[in-house]
């Protein structure tokens, strides 16, 4: 309850803005504004039944990546495609102190997958962690800020303490698929040998190859979690 009240106070003091044009949104509105909405890169079916990525062949159930590299998580629920102008907005959210975008991005996830997330009924939302050096540099973990907004709207608790990032990895965007996987080996740990949750949902800003979500999923399953899902603002292309 205290968390939800704090979130409401924050929204009054720092009203949400459209993450594309940065105009302050009318009171009670937390979505990409009507003027910018036609520019937003929303996902369209058919979608991969594992990661949620757009696929070209409506006869297929899974994208090529999920067919070649089976995933440990049950299913993913990304809201938009990682293309302009969303791409530029995500970079600001992540690197340019635009944490105020979180409410709007959370609302877009709910618009796309609110019913799916309620059907899954995760016990907790778990933000993908960043290394402490990046946290000190940025001042916040964008995935945790997003998870807090999403949790406040959906009345789902957030637990940011289960997974820690102990290796300050090279930015994934500069690596190929094989390098990304190796880059994340032993990057995450859990201080808890056994966690209390059985069904959780990871939260991140971008899903590209899925290496980060997969690494976190394995840590959680090794700690006793039975079902892991994820949601994100964006996902990479076909």
Phi-psi region of 167 (alpha: psi -120 to 50; beta: other; left: phi over 0): beta
Q: Around Cβ 195, how many Cβ atoms within 10 Å?
A: 20
What is the C-alpha to C-alpha distance for residues 38 and 49, in angstroms, rounded to an integer? 26
**Arithmetic mean of pLDDT, 172-182:** 62
pTM of the full structure: 0.89
pLDDT confidence of residue 16: 80
Terminal Cα distance for the chain, rounded:
41
pLDDT confidence of residue 222: 92
Residue 198, domain extent: 2-235
pLDDT confidence of residue 147: 97
Q: What is the pLDDT of residues 86-138, one digit of tens each?
A: 999 999 999 999 998 999 999 999 999 999 999 999 999 999 999 999 899 89
228 CB-near residues (< 8 Å, 6+ apart): 72, 73, 74, 200, 201, 202, 216, 217, 220, 221
Name the strand (E) or helix (H) holding 201: strand 199-207
Percentage of residues of the chain with pLDDT beyond 70: 87
Picking from 115, 46, 108, the residue whose alpha carbon sits closest to that of residue 80 is 108
Q: What is the pLDDT of residues 152-170, one digit of tens each?
A: 999 999 999 999 998 876 6
Asked if 12 and 103 touch (Cβ cutoff 8 Å), the reply is no
Tally of domains in the chain: 1
Q: Residue 28 has which token pair? A: 């009670």
Decide if pLDDT at 185 tops 60: yes
For residue 125, list its beta bridge partners: 158, 201
pLDDT confidence of residue 46: 94
């Amino acid at each position: 309850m205290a968390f939800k009240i704090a979130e409401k106070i924050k929204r009054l003091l720092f009203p949400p803005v459209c993450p594309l044009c940065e105009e302050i949104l009318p009171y009670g509105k937390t979505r990409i504004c009507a003027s910018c909405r036609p520019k937003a890169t929303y996902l369209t079916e058919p979608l991969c039944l594992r990661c949620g990525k757009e696929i070209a062949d409506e006869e297929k159930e899974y994208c090529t990546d999920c067919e070649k590299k089976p995933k440990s998580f049950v299913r993913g629920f990304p809201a938009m495609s990682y293309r302009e102008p969303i791409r530029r907005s995500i970079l600001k959210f992540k690197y340019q102190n635009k944490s105020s975008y979180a409410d709007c991005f959370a609302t877009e996830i709910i618009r796309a997958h609110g019913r799916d997330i309620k059907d899954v009924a995760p016990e907790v939302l778990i933000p993908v962690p960043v290394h402490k050096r990046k946290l000190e540099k940025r001042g916040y973990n964008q995935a945790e800020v997003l998870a807090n907004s999403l949790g406040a709207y959906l009345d789902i608790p957030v637990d940011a303490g289960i997974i820690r990032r102990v290796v300050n990895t090279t930015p994934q965007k500069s690596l190929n698929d094989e390098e990304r996987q190796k880059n994340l080996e032993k990057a995450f740990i859990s201080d808890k040998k056994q966690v209390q949750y059985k069904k959780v949902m990871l939260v991140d800003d971008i899903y590209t190859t899925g290496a980060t979500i997969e690494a976190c999923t394995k840590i959680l399953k090794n700690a006793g979690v039975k079902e892991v899902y994820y949601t994100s603002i964006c996902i990479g292309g076909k």
